[in-house]
Chains A and B, each alone.
Chain A
Amino acid sequence: MAAVPSPAAGTAPLYGAYGIVKRFGDFKANDGVDLEIRAGEIHALLGENGAGKSTLMKILYGLLEPTEGVVTHKGDIVQLPDPEAARAIGIGMVFQHFSLCENLTVAENIALVMPKTLSGRALAERIAALGAAYGLHLDPARPVWSLSAGERQRIEIVRCLLQDPRLVILDEPTSVLTPGEAEQLFSVLERLRDEGRALLYISHRLDEVRRLCTRATILRHGRVVGACDPQGESARSLAALMVGAQVGAVTGRAGAALGPPRLVLDRLSLPAPGLHGTALADIRLTVRGGEILGVAGVAGNGQAEFFSALSGETAAARAEAVVVDGAAVGRLDINARRRRGAAFVPEERNGHAAAPGMSLSENAVLSRHATAPLARFGLLRRGAARTLAAAVIAAFDVRKAGPDPAAGTLSGGNLQKFVVGREIQAEPGVLVVNQPTWGVDASAAARIRQALIDLAARGAALLVISQDLDELFEIASRIAVLHAGTLSEPVPAGETTREAVGLLMGGSHA
């Protein structure tokens, strides 16, 4: 399994990882992983959630210590006790959830990892020079909290490049970018490759991988299950390699027979809830029975505020602003809206949709006590709650340990299936879902999307907020874009393109 590092420096790869095993308790996140990275290539690391990609990356960046196995640099075994050691041998990293301090300025964030002797002025000059060379412009004096996701990523990349790395690790770099911002990123990455640097590119967006990468290593359950040239594969065959089985295509797009309007928003406006919040402005929308309306948009453009206005976590100023099946519910709370046939699945599984420390049956009670007979005279009917949870678990193939485990012990995909299934089981007339498959593996995602389509086919009106354009084009009958708290006019999914939606996501109305 573990290949012996090649002794001849001439043939040795720039960086290698051999026989990497990483245990967390009984769980093996990496199980004998070999990886070789050569100069001048963009190497893709593919795998589902929990396949061990992040663990391997953190080992390469010195954040985790491998239980077994070695990391090599030009054929020599190196020890990486901390990220500073990794940076010293030329490894840089661009984090998925940016490692930036929000209350510090751009320059201060960069100074954190720069040599101690560098003065503030010299640093600002180097930031400006690098920005000019790569088209990565930054204002060093701005505090990070005032910057967009794209700008924040630019800080990460500039910070990484200022150390002149030989290997740049990018973890899901496009997950928060607009298509236009992603294009810019790709040209920077291609330029870095042409300069002879190595790049390790982690993404679940197979189109990007096929476009950028010439070699790919595929991980499944912590093991390497294959290597290929992504440009010789289709997105479908890559997905099959990752999942280990053919991914079932979602069938039966909704929208054939439209029913009456079931969810109507009329001039819904809300002030920004806090320092970092987005105000909602004059949102008008009608969702009819039998259709799925997709709401696209880059994170932070009001998705969370929009969702809580729909669910009733934030009350609207006027009752008529939100109408469910003819009833004005804008001033009602979340349970009153549920009793009128609406259901809601928030974005955060742990802590918002489910209480991680409570069992699945208790979690079933949390959102269903208003719509299912789970209590009598104010006392819980635990048996009924367990039956309800069991029905959801069976219907959605939720994999779990034990009969009624704590929600937090489930994997992301399984918990997501549970929280979506819990709402669908109520057969709601209106279902609002925020990021239905965020961070969920391909097979669970396919199952959730199919369930949403089936629910719409039974006559429900669905509103799906998602950042994943592929997902929206797969399931939605109409697509609208939320940008800076305003919603664009929905257009039929068949009559628009990814490019058109992408432009709207970036705030352009062209």
Chain B
Amino acid sequence: MTLDIVQMVLVTVLTAATPLILAAIGELVAERSGVLNLGTEGMMVLGAAAGFAVATETGSTLAGALGGAGAGLALSGLFAILTVGLAANQVASGLALTILGLGLSGLVGTGYVGMKRDPAPHLHLAGLSDLPLVGDLLFGQDAFVYVAVALVLGVWWFLGRSRAGLVLRAIGDDHTATHALGLPVRKVRVLAVLFGGACAGLAGAYLSLAYTPFWSPGMTAGRGWIALALVVFASWRPLRVAAGALLFGGATVLQLHAQAAGLGLPGQALSALPYVATILALVLLSLGRRQGGSLAPAALGREFTPHR
């Protein structure tokens, strides 16, 4: 195998991982604040439809990306009103959000099925991008990829190093205690959910603007669910989310190559590989649980109503 082919495989792994990283890092922040939003798939697919529509109407990929993120943000706002404001059940609301997102995306995208546009422009730095093996991988990607990397590092710094991140983690651990200390439990949770929504929308926009630059209904194909599993897989750590997403992206790419190479296995079995990896990861994670404390944010999925 030549260096070029290795690099090509690595690039496809990275691009397959990018939507997972974007969606999972947003969901991670929401879950660390104690809110389980199962609507990632819905917010992603709406982001894909809205992103493609806005980009087509304005002719600007940037506007499309913002539109996608905005659509995810709006849908997560609805979720925040329900679960944080009205203390509705988070699991039921999240599932409803996915169904709503899938329906709405069909509506928004009706006029755009079958249209094509150029994929988001890639970075090109003279000299650097032409380096063998790493040139294209490091210096020749589109802006979404760099944003995803920046978000992972930013969230890692925010949660681990900043005071606001500490407050967010504390609220995810025990909303009763933090409320008693006078910390703004609901405000922080709303902001965390909105961040998660915007990230999921952006992940969807990446799919319809860069990964496969067209819109087709249901094009997220379960990536939102993979992102949810990734957060658990990564045991709620940002850097592990990135590593896990690359692993899952790798499994997807491997599956494509294995099919192309004509292995004796049916394509469906290979397509199931990333999902099997998720289940295995969950099992291993449960087996290797550390003693004391809890891995998950302790208040995850629990509704909170302050008395006043």
Binding site for B on A (CB under 8 A): 24, 62-65, 82-84, 86-87, 95, 98-104, 108-109, 111-113, 116, 143, 145-146, 275-276
Contacts and interface: CB of A to CB of B under 8 A. Distances in A.
A65 B174 contact: no
Given A64-B307, A65-B308, A104-B170, A95 B180 contact: yes
A63 B185 CA distance: 13
A82 B185 CA distance: 12
Nearest to A63: B180
Given A102-B293, A145-B293, A84 B308 contact: no
A64 B228 CA distance: 37
A469 B298 CA distance: 33
A145 B163 CA distance: 21
15 contacts: A24-B307, A63-B179, A82-B182, A86-B182, A87-B182, A99-B174, A101-B178, A101-B298, A102-B174, A112-B170, A113-B182, A116-B163, A145-B292, A145-B293, A275-B294
Contacts of B294: 102-103, 145, 275
A101 to B, nearest CB: 4
A84 B307 CA distance: 17
Given A146-B292, A275-B293, A276-B292, A99 B166 contact: no
A112 B298 contact: no
Given A64-B308, A112-B167, A99 B178 contact: yes
A146 B180 CA distance: 22
B82 interface: no
Given A64-B307, A65-B308, A103-B298, A112 B291 contact: no
Contacts, number: 75
Given A64-B307, A146-B292, A111 B163 contact: yes
Nearest to A55: B307
B189 interface: no
B31 interface: no
Nearest to A84: B182
B174 to A, nearest CB: 5
Nearest to B170: A101
Contacts of A84: 182
B176 interface: yes
Contacts of A275: 291-294
B174 A100 contact: yes
Contact of B173 (A83, A101, A116): A101
A63 B182 CA distance: 7
A116 B170 CA distance: 15
A387 B163 CA distance: 59
Contacts of A102: 173-174, 293-294, 298
A116 B183 CA distance: 13
A214 B291 CA distance: 46
A112 B166 contact: yes
A455 B170 CA distance: 48
B31 to A, nearest CB: 13
A112 B183 contact: yes
Interface in B56-93: none
A83 B180 contact: yes
Interface in B261-308: 291-294, 297-298, 307-308
A97 to B, nearest CB: 8
A104 B163 contact: no
Contacts of A100: 174, 177
B237 interface: no
A86 B178 CA distance: 15
B254 to A, nearest CB: 36
B169 interface: yes
B169 A104 contact: yes
Nearest to B297: A103
B181 interface: yes
Contacts of B298: 101-103
Nearest to B307: A64
B167 to A, nearest CB: 7
Contacts of B291: 275
B181 A112 contact: yes
B181 A83 contact: yes
Most buried by B among A95, A98, A104, A113: A104
Given A84-B182, A87-B182, A101-B169, 14 more contacts: A64-B307, A64-B308, A82-B182, A99-B177, A99-B178, A99-B180, A101-B170, A101-B173, A101-B178, A103-B298, A104-B170, A275-B291, A275-B293, A275-B294
Contacts of A101: 169-170, 173-174, 177-178, 298
Given A98-B177, A101-B173, A102-B293, A108 B182 contact: no
Contacts of A146: 292-293
Nearest to B306: A63
Given A64-B308, A99-B177, A100-B177, A83 B170 contact: no
B173 A113 contact: no
